[in-house]
């Protein structure tokens, strides 16, 4: 007899998928299209797979990313690859996916091209789902980085990120764009992150813990060890 009890992360992913599907249904009852902004990394994979099984008019759902690494879409650490492999499957393959991957010669030119590409989506997003790294980063807004200041203050939709803490450049949606949503959901896993989240909730400067920039939003937090 195999153990079929879902893990806390699997239970959380199912719970989050049902909440996101319901939010999309509510918005699709009053508008033609609904935009879902998702984050990358490893946490979202079971959530993507759970959401892909939800009943939705997927042809009216738009999906884009909160950030992307400066890698080709078939690279193992591409967030676009993650979305295509785990979310855009079955009926969910009908969704309109707008990746942040570009073949521009520099991340800066790529960020400009991506901004134009995503500006035509159904903003404000129905849901923005943000993860958090152990250093308190979210999307590609990294602590004490040169680009963090720009990403927190610019009116542009995207910012190119070249930070020494990361192996490759990235493109991230700016704080201004990530704030343009009806709902913000935090999806965080890892016992080590609980203390970081508690620190972010109780104080500390946004430059030390960029996730703080989004804690004032109407927010639900989905956390599992
Ligand atoms: C990315 C994500 C990033 C992620 C955190 C947490 O591209 O990596 O957008 O902000 O949410 O790094 O990642 P995990 O949940 O996989 O630890």
Q: Could you tell me the CATH number of the domain that includes residue 180?
A: 3.40.50.1360
CA of 45 to the centre of ligand 1 (A): 11
- Examine residue 34 and state whether it is found in any structural domain, yes or no: yes
Q: Which residue out of 12, 13, 40, 99 has the highest number of ligand 1 atoms within 8 Å of its CB and is therefore the one to mutate? A: 40
Ligand 1 lined by 67 (C-beta under 6 Å): yes
- Residue 72 contacts residue 78 (beta carbons within 8 Å): yes
Residue nearest to atom 17 of ligand 1 (CA): 133
Ligand 1 lined by 147 (C-beta under 6 Å): no
Alpha helices in 42-125, H assignment, sequence order: 44-51, 79-86, 107-119
User: Measured from the CA of 66, which atom of ligand 1 is nearest?
Assistant: 9
The whole-number average pLDDT for the span 25-37 is 98
CA of 58 to the centre of ligand 1 (A): 25
Comparing CA positions, the residue from 143, 150, 201 lying closest to residue 175 is 150
Ligand 1 lined by 158 (C-beta under 6 Å): no
Residue nearest to atom 2 of ligand 1 (CA): 40
Ligand 1 lined by 139 (C-beta under 6 Å): yes
Domain that holds residue 182: 8-223
- Examine residue 76 and state whether it is found in any structural domain, yes or no: yes
- Examine residue 122 and state whether it is found in any structural domain, yes or no: yes
Rounded to 5 degrees, φ, ψ at 222 are: -110, 110
pLDDT for the residue 69: 96
The whole-number average pLDDT for the span 166-184 is 96
CA of 107 to the centre of ligand 1 (A): 19
Q: Is the pLDDT of residue 185 over 70?
A: yes
pLDDT for the residue 128: 97
Q: Is the pLDDT of residue 167 over 80?
A: yes
Residue nearest to atom 7 of ligand 1 (CA): 40
Count up the domains in the chain and report the number.
1
Q: Is the pLDDT of residue 2 over 80?
A: no
- Examine residue 194 and state whether it is found in any structural domain, yes or no: yes
Q: Is the pLDDT of residue 85 over 90?
A: yes
Give residue 155's pLDDT band: very low, low, confident or very high (50, 70, 90): very high
Give residue 186's pLDDT band: very low, low, confident or very high (50, 70, 90): very high
Percentage of the chain modeled with pLDDT above 70: 99
Query: pLDDT, tens digit, for every residue of 50-81?
Result: 999 999 999 999 999 999 999 999 999 999 99
The whole-number average pLDDT for the span 5-18 is 93
* β-strands 158-161, 170-173 pairing: antiparallel
Ligand 1 lined by 66 (C-beta under 6 Å): yes
Could you report the predicted ipTM of this complex, rounded to two decimals?
Answer: 0.96
- Examine residue 149 and state whether it is found in any structural domain, yes or no: yes
Query: pLDDT, tens digit, for every residue of 32-51?
Result: 999 999 999 999 999 999 99
Ligand 1 lined by 13 (C-beta under 6 Å): no
- Examine residue 93 and state whether it is found in any structural domain, yes or no: yes
Please name the helix (run of DSSP H) or strand (run of DSSP E) that holds residue 170, with its range, or none.
strand 170-173
pLDDT for the residue 204: 77
- Residue 203 contacts residue 119 (beta carbons within 8 Å): no
Which tokens belong to 67?
């950030």
Residue nearest to atom 11 of ligand 1 (CA): 131
pLDDT for the residue 43: 96
- Examine residue 61 and state whether it is found in any structural domain, yes or no: yes
Give the whole-angstrom CA distance, residue 55 versus residue 151: 35
Task: Give pTM, 2 decimals.
Answer: 0.96
pLDDT for the residue 165: 87
pLDDT for the residue 3: 67
- Examine residue 1 and state whether it is found in any structural domain, yes or no: no
């Amino acid at each position: 007899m195999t153990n079929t009890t879902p893990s806390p992360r699997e239970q959380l992913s199912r719970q989050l998928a049902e909440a996101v599907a319901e939010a999309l249904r509510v918005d699709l009852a009053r508008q033609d299209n609904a935009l879902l902004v998702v984050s990358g990394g490893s946490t979202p994979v079971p959530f993507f797979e759970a959401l892909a099984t939800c009943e939705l008019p997927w042809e009216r759902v738009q999906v884009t990313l909160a950030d992307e690494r400066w890698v080709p879409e078939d690279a193992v650490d591409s967030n676009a690859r993650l979305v295509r492999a785990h979310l855009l499957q079955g009926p969910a393959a009908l969704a309109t996916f707008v990746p942040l991957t570009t073949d521009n010669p520099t991340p800066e030119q790529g960020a400009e091209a991506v901004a134009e590409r995503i500006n035509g989506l159904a903003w404000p997003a129905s849901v923005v789902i943000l993860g958090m790294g152990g250093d308190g980063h979210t999307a590609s807004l990294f602590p004490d980085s040169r680009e963090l200041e720009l990403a927190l203050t610019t009116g542009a939709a995207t910012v190119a990120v070249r930070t020494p803490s990361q192996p490759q450049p990235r493109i991230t949606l700016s704080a201004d764009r990530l704030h343009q949503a009806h709902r913000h959901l935090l999806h965080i896993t890892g016992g080590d992150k609980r203390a970081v989240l508690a620190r972010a909730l109780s104080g500390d400067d946004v430059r030390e813990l960029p996730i703080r920039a989004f804690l004032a939003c109407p927010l639900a937090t989905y956390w599992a060890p």
